[in-house]
Amino acid sequence: MIVFISGGSKSGKSSLAEDLAVKLAGDATRWYIATMVPHDEEDRQRIRKHIASRSGKGFITLESADADPSIAIGREKDTFLLDSVTALLSNRMFRNDYSVDPECGKKTTEALLQLAGRVNNIVFVSDYIYADAENYGELTEEYRRNLALIDQALANAAGLVIEMTGSFPIVHKGELL
Amino acid sequence: MDLITGGAYQGKRTYAMKHFSVSEEDIFCCSEDAPCDFTAGCIDHLENYVLYCVKNHLEPAMDFRSDAVLIGRDISCGVVPTDPLIRRYREVYGRYLQTLAARCDSVTRMFCGLPQKLK
């Protein structure tokens, strides 16, 4: 099963995603795909918070900045949690030489759908960053367009789509487990 | 009148075309530099029309066709904008959408391509 969760920051997306992944996995192995590449102390602190929050839930951390579908090999019966699509897209979109891959939304969508097709369960966490008045400039708009492309494709493929707001789930598709 | 709202790139126009049988030719796309064509069957980017009004000190109108499909982006969720014009625009547009939603037969919010019926 594919689960897609999005919403504002600190709305409880990660906790819910972890709990759903635990339920879906049953006795199977749970993999946490850690996408964030830390750049400073603030990032490292956020990562420590996330590790602490999921400790005891039985996840094995799998560090993968690009979430290549090959990470599913030999783990087809397992359950995966990818937190977050947003961090994954920045890793794949902004290259080290400051150039941008204009096709990265499409490529990331294909990679994630392929990964999802190979494994028993996968829970995706994304961020709803589409509803503000500020004009961020073309590069950020391109990032938002690409993220929206991925979000829509994942929500379309998912059996369960949830929007989190103030730690409460709004179910847009399927039924809460 | 039917209103479709939601954040940027959430599939609002696609939903209008699919659900309300709107075709490309029916759609008038508002710009922040020109008035709105109230005769169109579908009016997209209402937020741009309201920005046009705010920039030109005009009261935004609602003289739409009674069967019009209206599409407006939700711009309400960010930090208070530092630019006073954008601040006023956000407030005027928010109130405008509230009044418009009250007058519409249906209100739908799009989330990642999925419709959520609000009214």
> Which tokens in the block code for residue A155?
């929500």
pTM for this model (two decimals): 0.90
Q: In angstroms, rounded to a whole number, what is the distance separating the alpha carbons of residues A144 and A96?
A: 20
Instruction: Flag whether pLDDT at A136 surpasses 90.
Output: no
Regarding predicted confidence, which is higher, A148 or A101?
A148
The pLDDT of residue A55 is 86
pLDDT score at B100: 97
Share of chain B above pLDDT 90, in %: 94
Q: Which residues of A touch B78 (CB under 8 A)?
A: 131-134
> pLDDT value at position B108?
97
Q: How far apart are CA B119 and CA B108, in angstroms?
A: 7
A60-81 average pLDDT score: 95
Give the chain B residue nearest A141 (alpha carbons). Answer: B8
In what order do the strands lie in the sheet containing B106-111? B27-29, B42-44, B69-73, B2-6, B106-111, B114-117
pLDDT for residue A164: 95
pLDDT score of A134 more than 90:
no
> Which of A5, A9, A13, A130 is the best residue to mutate to test the B interface, defined by the most B CB atoms within 10 Å of its own CB?
A130
What pLDDT is attached to residue B50? 98
**Segment B16-39 mean pLDDT:** 97
Q: pLDDT tens, A16-51?
A: 999 999 999 999 999 999 988 888 999 899 888 888
- Measure the CA angle with vertex A154, ends A150 and A156; round to 5°: 120
Task: Say what the ipTM of the complex is.
Answer: 0.83
Q: What angle do CA B100, B101, B103 make, to 5 degrees?
A: 65
Q: With contacts defined as CB-CB under 8 Å, which chain B residues touch A145?
A: 9
Nearest CA distance, B49 vs chain A (angstrom): 14
Residue A103 DSSP one-character state: T
Please say if the pLDDT value at position A177 is more than 90: no
Question: What is the average pLDDT across A163-173?
Answer: 93
- Interval B42-53 mean pLDDT: 98
Least Cα separation, residue A94 to chain B (angstroms): 20
Rounded mean pLDDT of B60-71? Answer: 98
pLDDT band at A76; cut points 50, 70, 90: very high
Summarize the confidence of residues A123-134 as an average pLDDT.
94
Cβ within 8 Å, pair A133-B76: yes
**B78 has a pLDDT exceeding 90:** no
Please tell me which residue of chain B has the smallest CA distance to A134.
B81
A77-116 pLDDT, tens digit each:
999 999 999 999 999 998 878 889 889 999 999 999 999 9
Torsions phi, psi for A148 (to 5 deg): -65, -35
Cβ within 8 Å, pair A172-B9: no
Find the chain A residues whose C-beta atoms sit closer than 8 A to any C-beta of B. 4, 6, 8, 128-135, 144-145, 148-149, 151-152, 154-156, 161, 163, 170, 172-173
B26 interface with A at CB cutoff 8 Å: no
| B113 reaches A (C-beta below 8 A) | yes
**Cα B85 from chain centroid?**
19
Nearest CA distance, B58 vs chain A (angstrom): 20
CB contact under 8 A, B116 and A172: yes
What rounded mean pLDDT belongs to chain A? Answer: 93
Q: Residue A4 in 3-state DSSP?
A: strand
CA-based nearest distance B64→chain A, Å: 24
The string of DSSP codes covering chain B is -EEEEESTTSSHHHHHHHHS---GGGEEE--TTS---TT-SEEE-HHHHHHHHHHTT-PPP----TT-EEEEE--BSSPPPSSHHHHHHHHHHHHHHHHHHHHSSEEEEEETTEEEE--
Higher pLDDT, A10 or A147: A147
With a cut of 90, say whether residue A9 has pLDDT above it: no
Distance from CA of A171 to the nearest CA of B (A): 10
A8 by DSSP, 3-state: which? coil
Record the tokens describing residue A55, joined without a space: 């400790």
Q: Provide the token pair at B95.
A: 């109130």
Spell out which residues of chain A touch residue B116, defining contact as CB-CB under 8 Å.
170, 172
Listed range (A67-76, A117-126, A157-166, B74-83) with the worst mean pLDDT:
B74-83
Asked if residue A84 has a cis previous peptide bond (ω within 30° of 0), the answer is: yes
Confidence at A52, pLDDT banded by 50, 70, 90: confident
